[in-house]
Structure 1
């Protein structure tokens, strides 16, 4: 049995996850999709489009899709689904996991790396994060869960952009880009998004290209710090998405996001042993605060690119394609995390070079 692709759908409360899911489930796309729901709020998807028996864990829909809610943990639900598929009692081609709006997607993603049985049945395709344009600035300022969801994303969909002014959307996109430069952003309306933009994104595929926004690596009018390594939203940051008006007094408090990203780049090759030791050490100390990290690295001893990535404490590497004869062998690594000590990371990486 080939691996079953899995998409994790996350986003803060009210961002439109259920709207998007309903569309995916009811559209005549000919795909059989299993939806694992971890949302026990009033916007439960089965209230409107499913009729379920009390205590029923898996519901078959009329278009061949199925829906199930997590009664125990995610691992046992996925295991049950894979078992039913193997036995032929359930027919589905892919899984969508909808996390609760307050969830950290990290442990959900880790399930696919940590558990051998799950890893043998499923392939984690990507994490999709929905961001509500109307309420995003407040949510990102006040709720770490919302910031973490952005940090984990492989693809960001911005909903409700028609309810706010264009400059607010631009400011939000600018802010999101500096929290997570590797996730493409797209504005969507009422869950109307092509399925090709939802499935088979290969965001977690180690051989997928490293999606760092090329503009993020350039110097621009927002000073990106030394050598274009980073951009910090500090005290003097004037993006409108950071400002809140306190009780109409016109006093703007500029918020400094704790979820930030920075990029390490070098044209020198890495010493594999030194790099392994250093990454092992920082993951040991900062792992819980390291949301996503991914890179294409030039490693001594191989003519191929080394593709490296991790989530929290779990990391892995894979050999990618060979460096082309005329290609500049530049290592690039993006780190996305919560209050990570950028100087320690960048200096440590520098010391692993030959």
Structure 2
């Protein structure tokens, strides 16, 4: 049997009516997505009748292009484990990628948790990224009225603007809408679903560490320059957007690995619900020439992976966070408390060094 490398998993999400079905149809036709398994909730939700060949077994349908399509039977974990069993027993010849389509009302976090936290799945799968479809016609109203839609945008690695052929791209309304998306998630590229170029190449391989190649496109994955240079836009305070923000923590010197662990443990245990997403690359003191890749969703963090070398000349620690109802200054103070650079006034320094929970803004 040939060497097995973790299979990349992409999560396709987006609110009701955002165009996930049309987008899924289009990417399934791309030759780059051969040997892909698509996991959906109900076959009836996805218009792929023209691609169906036969139902090879309970819950699994083979498509004419060689891909597979299966429903979530019980738990997502069971469905993914069944795919691995089929691959290992030869019932599936090859499997190069998995795409999971969530329901329109779904919070994508539980899906990410399943991939990142289950001990068996972690051995066989790696999270490639979150793709969020956003309706260019009704997206503004959807964001105003549905917090789930806001979270779907906030955690995305790629934002796909659908129905752009029905709007005026030069209009002020569209400019404000795309600016709002950028404010919610400055690091995610906004891609039109009507781009003539092969769209699959823009949606997948988001840059996270790939064990099969031992490389990581950190610049593309973190896009920390977008977080540093984002433009602040004033929005209605009654909108959900006001509760979500994105920011970057940086540190020049290598960090003690125990201090890093304590910082992450305290942040996820005390603020897990507010920590929508966190990803980064960290220089650690024990082996500063081999940085760690950090990736978390709420209180669940993927096991840290050590790169064989820095992928570029920037050797700073860079942590990108997307949070909800969590003060950036609190996170920054906590981080610098553990890394030895407290960012507080002198009267608070002694209390901070003795008890990081004394940081102003801490919520138990």
- Asked if 2 retains the 8 angstrom alpha-carbon contact of 1:39 and 1:101, the reply is no
Match of 1:211 in 2: 222
Question: Equivalents in 2 of 1:141, 1:2: separation in Å?
Answer: 42
- Asked if 2 retains the 8 angstrom alpha-carbon contact of 1:161 and 1:169, the reply is no
- Pick the aligned partner of 1:283 from 268, 272, 280: 268
Q: Does 1:176 align with 2:219?
A: no
Q: CA deviation at 1:63?
A: 2.0
- Asked if 1 retains the 8 angstrom alpha-carbon contact of 2:255 and 2:285, the reply is yes
Q: Which runs of 5+ in 1 are unaligned?
A: 223-230, 244-252
Question: Equivalents in 2 of 1:169, 1:266: separation in Å?
Answer: 37
- Pick the aligned partner of 1:259 from 214, 237, 244: 244
Match of 2:356 in 1: none
Match of 1:196 in 2: 201
Question: Equivalents in 1 of 2:159, 2:209: separation in Å?
Answer: 14
Match of 2:283 in 1: 298
Q: CA deviation at 1:143?
A: 1.1
Matches within 5 A, 1:23-38: 23-28=26-31, 31-38=34-41
Match of 1:78 in 2: 80
Bigger Cα displacement from structure 2, 138-147 vs 202-211: 202-211
Equivalent position SS for 2:293? strand
Equivalent position SS for 2:267? helix
Q: CA deviation at 1:334?
A: 1.4
Match of 1:318 in 2: 305
Q: CA deviation at 1:156?
A: 1.4
Q: 1:320 to 1:178 in 2, by over 3 A?
A: farther
Superposed CA deviations along residues 269-318 of structure 1, whole A, max 9, x for unmatched, are 43332332122112001112211111223333332233322111122433
Question: Equivalents in 1 of 2:193, 2:33: separation in Å?
Answer: 23
Question: Equivalents in 2 of 1:9, 1:192: separation in Å?
Answer: 20
Superposed CA deviations along residues 14-61 of structure 1, whole A, max 9, x for unmatched, are 112111211233445571221110257x643355644777x9411112
TM (normalized to structure 1)? 0.81
Q: CA deviation at 1:194?
A: 2.6
Equivalent position SS for 1:85? helix
- Asked if 1 retains the 8 angstrom alpha-carbon contact of 2:284 and 2:292, the reply is yes
- Pick the aligned partner of 2:126 from 123, 128, 132: 123
Q: 1:334 to 1:43 in 2, by over 3 A?
A: same
Q: CA deviation at 1:181?
A: 2.6
Match of 2:98 in 1: 95
Q: 1:170 to 1:64 in 2, by over 3 A?
A: same
- Asked if 1 retains the 8 angstrom alpha-carbon contact of 2:23 and 2:193, the reply is no
Equivalent position SS for 1:158? strand
Equivalent position SS for 1:91? coil
Superposed CA deviations along residues 223-261 of structure 1, whole A, max 9, x for unmatched, are xxxxxxxx5x5xxx15xxx69xxxxxxxxx776432221
Q: Which has the higher helix share?
A: 2
Question: Equivalents in 2 of 1:144, 1:321: separation in Å?
Answer: 40
Q: CA deviation at 1:322?
A: 4.2
RMSD of aligned Cα (Å): 3.1
Q: 1:124 to 1:215 in 2, by over 3 A?
A: closer
- Asked if 1 retains the 8 angstrom alpha-carbon contact of 2:227 and 2:246, the reply is no
Q: Which runs of 5+ in 2 are unaligned?
A: 341-364
Q: 1:84 to 1:322 in 2, by over 3 A?
A: closer
Q: 1:50 to 1:259 in 2, by over 3 A?
A: farther
Matches within 5 A, 1:16-27: 16-27=19-30
Question: Equivalents in 1 of 2:117, 2:60: separation in Å?
Answer: 25
